[in-house]
Amino acid sequence: MSELGVDLMSPSGWLPLVFALVMALSMLAYVVLDGFDLGVGALLDSADSLEHKDMMIASIGPFWDANETWLVLGVGVLLVGFPMAHGVILGALYLPVALMLVTLSLRGVAFDFRVKAKAQHRPLWDKVFYIGSILASWAQGFMLGQLIIGFKQDMSSYLFSALIGFCLLFAYRMLGAGWLIMKTEGSLQLKAVLWAKNSLWLTAAGVLAISIATPWVSQRIFDKWFSFPNLLMLLPIPVMTFSLFIVIGRSLSRLPTRFAQGNQYGAGVPFASTVGIFLLSFYGLAYSLFPWLVIDQLDIWQAASSPEALMVIFYGVVVVFPVIIGYTIFAYWVFWGKSTKLHY
């Protein structure tokens, strides 16, 4: 028996843990991978020429659709592995989930239609892609805010979730700008540096807001963070996060001079550091919430399907999960390097 009162040696103990881990890794992969292409889409309207917009689309073209596979996997695991929590979470988040799905669909339609549209209609589909990216990003941030505060239904909770929505939007924009800094050259690359600078501190504000709010939602979470020796052991997380923001700021101030000299050294630093911030933030959030799927209401063992059902699904996950990881790595390996001009 563990300190959680669960026998981790029995299928009813370890299977929910495995499915929770798969779901968490899937959502993390989605946030990072689809986050940068949502960020590029949210920056599309800031580009001042069709050539720049085409290059931005080209930089995410081989990846954006496959990135959403991780969202499907994460939500699928929630549905089949934790049906009780799925009902509570999706019921509480019905409207933002619907908004996200509609806007992600709009992005897909716009991405394909801009290929076939006449020249005078292409700006319309670029605008649809831009709006879809913004609303999908905001909806995901709103859902994150609601998850953190335990799905409370009052005005202050809605305002907090709306704020987190805007902060996640700017975090995605910073991730997207970092991606463009890596994948492009010339004037668009310099613009991406400026876009990253404009998003940096709003992203920091979002991380700070989540960090402050999460421990105050539940006494359990507060005790996990601020009791000794946990406080000392967890101190590296905020320190490393703050350090990465400093690294990004210093890098963005130096890169324009290097790019002007034809030197691409350090072009990947803003993107890699932003991914590091996402990883640290996700780790801190996972530590805060574990073992709860709905804070102080449902933990992963209470919400899990029967051990027999989980075991059947487990065999499928053992096959599917490595395959998704494999083709994702292969796709990024094939299309690594600077983006080339968009051709249809």
What DSSP assignment string belongs to 144-181?
A: HHHHHTTS--SHHHHHHHHHHHHHHHHHHHHHHHHHHH
Task: Tell the burial category of 262 from Cβ atoms under 10 Å away from its Cβ (0-12, 13-18, 19+).
Answer: exposed
CB 295 within 8 A of CB 218: yes
pLDDT at 202 (0 to 100) = 85
pLDDT band at 87 (very low <50, low <70, confident <90, very high): confident
Region 309-330 average pLDDT: 90
pLDDT at 344 (0 to 100) = 53
Region 317-321 average pLDDT: 89
Share of the chain above pLDDT 90, in %: 39
Q: pLDDT tens-digit profile of 188-229?
A: 999 999 999 999 988 888 888 888 877 777 777 788 888 888
Region 171-184 average pLDDT: 94
CB 59 within 8 A of CB 336: no
CA distances (Å), 314 to each of 9, 11, 80, 319, 342, in order? 16, 11, 11, 9, 41
Q: pLDDT tens-digit profile of 127-171?
A: 999 999 999 999 999 999 888 888 888 888 888 889 889 989 999
CB 191 within 8 A of CB 52: yes
Alpha carbons 176 and 269: distance in angstroms, whole number: 13
Region 260-266 average pLDDT: 85
Alpha carbons 53 and 300: distance in angstroms, whole number: 44
Region 240-251 average pLDDT: 94
Beta-sheet strands, E only, within the chain: 292-294, 298-299
pLDDT band at 10 (very low <50, low <70, confident <90, very high): confident
Alpha carbons 273 and 239: distance in angstroms, whole number: 14
* Cis amide prior to 83 (ω within 30 degrees): no
CB 298 within 8 A of CB 88: yes
pLDDT at 50 (0 to 100) = 83
Which residues contact residue 276 at a Cβ distance below 8 angstroms, ignoring those fewer than 6 apart? 240, 244
HSE of 65, CA atoms in CB hemisphere, 13 A: 10
* Residue from 188, 211, 203, 185 nearest 273 by CA: 203
CB 79 within 8 A of CB 26: no
CB 225 within 8 A of CB 234: yes
Residue 342 has pLDDT above 70, yes or no: no
Q: pLDDT tens-digit profile of 55-86?
A: 998 888 888 778 888 988 888 898 889 998 88
pLDDT at 343 (0 to 100) = 60
* Residue from 219, 338, 214, 229 nearest 287 by CA: 214
Region 14-33 average pLDDT: 92
Region 99-117 average pLDDT: 88
Residue 292 has pLDDT above 60, yes or no: yes
Alpha carbons 189 and 341: distance in angstroms, whole number: 14
Task: Kindly report the average pLDDT of the chain as a whole number.
Answer: 88
